[in-house]
């Protein structure tokens, strides 16, 4: 499938049209940003790792009956996906306290939560992706009541499957961000699932195997991404 016109360019990915109006190509770049693009850099081979890792997660989830936008991986950095009308809401699921939740409620990172927490953020870079709730989502028409109910259930289901998959590979899924979109009347999981969008900790050492190594200047960024790819590939 040939790349057509560039439809969208984000911080870490580009989206290209194809000859089929229902399909687009998602291209993974090495560019990395954090703190709403105030910190910028590149993580060598990140695009290749995230493309491959997302393929593995999407294929696993499809096998568990979760509908995703994934069709096939075309090359190291290109993935053919179903074209979605994106719901402009970032859905974050949390299993362990970390990141912005730790700051917001003033508790240390690392405390396991008794149940998964679901949070919504309005997808708007200029506003810094502010936190919102279901009432904002339905009032401003970003999704209907029925869609947000479906998205919430899907996010929690996906989280349960990923926790199980990763546990078998000695990895804790601390939290993760998901995006959903509409395709021919159905809600599908979109975007990517990788160390840019999830916090992965080694189960025994709690070593961080994700983008926090870049965000917090911890070093060993590329090695952590490679290690995660190795674990999910087994």
Q: Which is nearer to ligand C5P, 12 or 18 (CB)?
A: 12
State the DSSP code for 139. H
Burial class of residue 31 in the structure, from the number of CB atoms within 10 Å of its CB (0-12 exposed, 13-18 middle, 19+ buried): middle
Helix (H, G, I), strand (E, B) or coil at 43: coil
Minimum Å distance from CB 150 to ligand C5P?
20
For 201, the enclosing helix (H) or strand (E) is strand 198-202
Minimum Å distance from CB 197 to ligand C5P?
4
Minimum Å distance from CB 55 to ligand C5P?
18
Helix (H, G, I), strand (E, B) or coil at 53: helix
Minimum Å distance from CB 94 to ligand C5P?
7
Minimum Å distance from CB 100 to ligand C5P?
3
Beta strands 112-122 and 186-189 are: unpaired
Residue nearest to ligand C5P (CB): 99
Q: Which is nearer to ligand C5P, 131 or 186 (CB)?
A: 131
Minimum Å distance from CB 98 to ligand C5P?
6
Q: Encoding tokens for residue 48?
A: 């290749």
Work out the number of other CB atoms within 10 angstroms of the CB of residue 94: 21
Helix (H, G, I), strand (E, B) or coil at 88: coil
Q: Which is nearer to ligand C5P, 82 or 211 (CB)?
A: 211
Q: Which is nearer to ligand C5P, 52 or 208 (CB)?
A: 208
State the DSSP code for 172. E
Strand order in the sheet with 70-73: 6-9, 13-17, 23-28, 78-82, 70-73
Q: Which is nearer to ligand C5P, 78 or 90 (CB)?
A: 90
Contact 156, 94 (CB under 8 A): no
Minimum Å distance from CB 211 to ligand C5P?
6
Q: Which is nearer to ligand C5P, 27 or 177 (CB)?
A: 177
Q: Which is nearer to ligand C5P, 7 or 117 (CB)?
A: 117
Cα–Cα nearest to 80, from 29, 15, 30: 15
Contact 176, 199 (CB under 8 A): yes
Q: For binding to ligand C5P (CB under 6 A), which residues are involved?
A: 90, 92, 98-101, 129, 175-177, 197-199, 211
């Amino acid at each position: 499938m040939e790349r057509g016109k560039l439809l969208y360019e984000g911080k870490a990915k580009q989206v290209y049209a194809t000859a089929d109006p229902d399909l687009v190509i998602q291209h993974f770049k090495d560019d990395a940003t954090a703190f709403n693009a105030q910190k910028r850099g590149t993580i060598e081979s990140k695009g290749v790792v995230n493309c491959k890792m997302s393929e593995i997660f999407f294929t696993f989830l499809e096998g568990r009956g979760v509908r995703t936008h994934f069709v096939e991986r075309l090359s190291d950095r290109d993935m053919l996906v179903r074209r979605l009308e994106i719901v402009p809401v970032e859905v974050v699921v949390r299993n362990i306290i970390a990141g912005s939740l730790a700051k917001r409620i003033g508790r240390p990172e690392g405390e396991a939560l008794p149940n998964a927490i679901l949070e919504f953020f309005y997808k708007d870079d200029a506003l810094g992706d502010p936190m919102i709730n279901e009432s904002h989502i339905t009032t401003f028409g970003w999704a209907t009541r029925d869609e947000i109910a479906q998205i919430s259930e899907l996010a929690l289901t996906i989280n349960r499957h990923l926790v199980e998959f990763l546990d078998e590979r000695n990895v804790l899924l601390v939290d993760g961000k998901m995006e959903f979109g509409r395709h021919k009347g159905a809600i599908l999981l979109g975007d990517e699932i990788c160390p840019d969008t999830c916090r992965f900790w080694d189960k025994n050492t709690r070593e961080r195997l994700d983008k926090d190594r870049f965000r917090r200047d911890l070093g060993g960024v590329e090695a952590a991404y490679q290690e995660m790819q190795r674990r999910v590939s087994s």
